[in-house]
Amino acid sequence: MNMTYLLFIVPALLLSLYAQFKVKSTFNKYSKVRSSRGMSGAEVANTILRRNGMASTVSIEPIRGSLTDHYDPTVKALRLSEPVYGSNSISAIGVAAHEVGHAIQHQQQYGP
């Protein structure tokens, strides 16, 4: 195996594993902190969509798994994982708001 190949692949792999660890540990830490409003991730997502005039065009659906949340622009569906959809934690609200951001970007045809 070419050593130059390993010189680039190993650090990239280690960095991605570290990033994944940090995301999961931060999510777990703040999943224990409840929001003061008591709104679930799905409720927050719906509120943000409604305030942007998108509640009737974007559906919010629960999806299995943890941190599997995503916005599907092909069917305009916001899919929130079980720990996000029904939870009123700071983590759930943050992830839900982040995913709604993708829906807003899609609706506004935002590009890099």
Q: How confident is the model over 39-94, as pLDDT tens digits?
A: 999 999 999 999 999 999 999 999 999 999 999 999 999 999 999 999 999 999 99
Tokens at 108, concatenated: 């506004």
pLDDT band, residue 1 (cuts 50/70/90): low
Predicted TM-score of the model (pTM): 0.87
| 73 vs 92: CA distance, rounded Å | 21
In the predicted model, what is the mean pLDDT of residues 23-34?
Answer: 95
First-to-final CA distance of the chain? 37
Q: Give long-range contacts, CB 8 A cutoff, 24+ apart: 31-34.
A: 31/83, 31/87, 31/89, 31/90, 31/91, 31/92, 32/89, 33/89, 33/90, 33/91, 34/88, 34/89, 34/90
Task: Check whether 112 has a pLDDT greater than 90.
Answer: no
pLDDT band, residue 29 (cuts 50/70/90): very high
Please return the burial class of 36, using the count of CB atoms within 10 Å of its CB with bins 0-12, 13-18 and 19+.
Answer: exposed
Question: Is the distance from CB of 34 to CB of 87 less than 8 angstroms?
Answer: no
CATH class of 7-107: alpha beta
Query: Does residue 99 carry a catalytic annotation?
Result: yes
Q: Which of 43, 61, 82, 99 is catalytic?
A: 99
pLDDT of amino acid 21: 96
Q: Which residue has the tokens 């999806």?
A: 63
